[in-house]
Amino acid sequence: MNKSTFILKGNICYTETRDQLTVMDQGYLVCHEGISRGVYPVVPEKYRDLPVTDYHDLLIVPGMSDLHVHAPQYPFRGLGMDLELLDWLNTHTFPEESRYADPEYAEKAYRIFTEDLRKSATTRAAVFATIHIPATKVLMEQLDASELKTYVGKVNMDRNCTDTLRERDAEAALESTSEWLRETAGKYPNVRPILTPRFAPTCSGALLEGLGALQREYGLPVQSHLSENLSEINWVQELFPWSSCYGNVYEHYGLFGGEAKTVMAHCVHSSDREVKLMKNSGVYVAHCPQSNINLSSGIAPVRRYLDEGIPVGLGTDMAGGANMSMFRCIVDAIGVSKLYWRLVDQGSKPLSMEEAFYLATKGGGAFFGKVGSFEEGYEVDALVLDDSGMRSTKELSTRDRLERYLYLAEEYGRLAGKYVAGKKIL
């Protein structure tokens, strides 16, 4: 029998809709060739012969999608947290990313990133690399071997950055991106390419136009940054004076949803016009709460995006966020939503645990397909959570154990198993 056909038994939690957690204590999750056949209180007759892995009293939850993470920034995580975006990029980010011109450095630095990501709660990720082809190949090779499922983007930037990171001009950047696409095509089964203009300020109109053409030629998805910081937004208006909003710049060049599956990180200060554009284009928002805090960017109005029906997932934005843990990301999303409610908009009620858990699983998972739930037809990405180190005299329901796990994961949690698309990797 196929190795990715099995049953997992334990206390199973997942979301079907964003505000409701489905819990089945001592349930059976049936996985057939990597795809869920549903969750049952007793094993249905037709699945009786499948091997069962019994996780006893542990929790089993869907794997998590980090919808926005910068692999090359991992070496300076937890450092340089006293600047806002544009100064932070110039002071910390661009100098570190310049080092990836050396593939040997990339090999070492990406090894640490990839090993840590593999051990984390993340099963899927949309990853920024740097402008460098050899280093980006190293990252793709390592991530492929990790058996996580990822999108990786070679970054494009041809202006407004250090010489060491600036591609000569639009033509050179586009040629390099085409070469990267050609040379990596079909080589890494677990890694798919994603077009990655860093953000509008570091991309000329000619570069964005060429990336739009590549998007249409290859049908590629797109990732970038949008309306993260007020100085950034003003700068985009100066650089693209004809634009009606920041998002309109990407839209103008065919890099904003529609045929191009797109995820934009942050969207902290999006105007009404921009929100409407995001909604009409089906653009995903990668909400990165810890980065919003660390770079003093502000708080993304996630409740509004959810109410508008805009697809939302969570991102660590490593190293704008210092922690790779998606549990921490969930807790930060809940936390900043409370501050937003209290300090910014009393009509914008905070995220519940269920909602934030949904964003990290099914919300962000949607960018990768039928991912992030245990409903029938979903790819089985699963985490087995051991909370036995969380000592307490309290009797807890399974739902409460999950909530506590999210908050205490780093101190007392243990990842007892990890499955990606039906394959056990931990």
Residue 89 binds which one of ligand GUN, Fe ion, none, with CB within 5 to 8 A depending on kind? Answer: ligand GUN
Give whichever of 199 and 358 is closer to ligand GUN, judged by the CB atom: 199
Q: Tell me: does residue 320 bind ligand GUN (CB under 6 A).
A: yes
Q: Is residue 274 within the footprint of Fe ion (CB under 5 A)?
A: no
Q: Considering the complex, state which of residue 317 and residue 354 has its C-beta at the smaller distance from Fe ion.
A: 317
CB closer to ligand GUN out of 155 and 214 = 155
CA-to-CA dists, residue 96 to 100, 109, 319, 321, 328, angstroms: 8, 11, 11, 16, 25
Q: Is 403 near ligand GUN (CB under 6 A)?
A: no
Q: Say how many C-beta atoms besides its own lie within 10 A of residue 49's C-beta.
A: 8
Which of 158, 167, 274, 317 lies at the binding interface for Fe ion (CB under 5 A)?
317
- Crossing angle, helix 398-412 and helix 326-339, to 10 degrees? 110
132 touches ligand GUN by CB under 6 A: no
- Binding to ligand GUN by residue 154, rule CB under 6 A? no
Q: How far is the CB of 317 from ligand GUN (least distance, A)?
A: 5
Q: Please report how close the Cβ of residue 228 comes to ligand GUN at its closest, in angstroms.
A: 5
Q: Residue 42 gets which letter from DSSP?
A: S
Say whether the peptide bond before residue 319 is cis (omega within 30 degrees of 0): yes
Site string for ligand GUN, 282-301 (x = CB under 6 A): ---------x----------
Task: Quote the CA–CA distance of 85 and 98 in Å, as a whole number.
Answer: 18
Interacting residues with ligand GUN between 298 and 317 (CB under 6 A): 317
What are the two backbone dihedrals, phi and then psi, of residue 386, each rounded to the nearest 5 degrees?
-105, 110
Q: DSSP assignment, residue 285?
A: E
Tell me the closest approach of the beta carbon of residue 415 to Fe ion, in angstroms: 25
The correct pick among 228, 274, 381, 387 for binding ligand GUN (CB under 6 A) is 228
Q: Where are the beta strands (DSSP E) in 292-391?
A: 312-314, 382-386
Distance CA 89, CA 130 (A): 13
Residue nearest to ligand GUN as judged by C-beta position: 320
CA angle, 125 then 169 then 177, to 5°? 35
- Which among Fe ion, ligand GUN, none contacts residue 66 (Cβ within 5 to 8 A by kind)? none
Residues ≥6 apart with Cβ < 8 Å to 106: 72, 100, 132, 134, 135, 138, 139
Nearer to Fe ion, 214 or 265 (CB): 265
What is d(CA 214, CA 374) in angstroms, rounded to the nearest whole number? 35
Report the residue number, 314 or 380, with the smaller CB distance to Fe ion: 314
How far apart are the C-alpha atoms of 166 and 97, rounded to whole Å? 11
Q: Which is nearer to Fe ion, 29 or 233 (CB)?
A: 233
- Shortest distance, position 203 Cβ to ligand GUN, whole Å: 10
* Interface contacts to Fe ion, rule CB under 5 A: 265, 317
* Interface contacts to ligand GUN, rule CB under 6 A: 70, 85, 89, 93, 198-199, 225, 228, 291, 317, 320
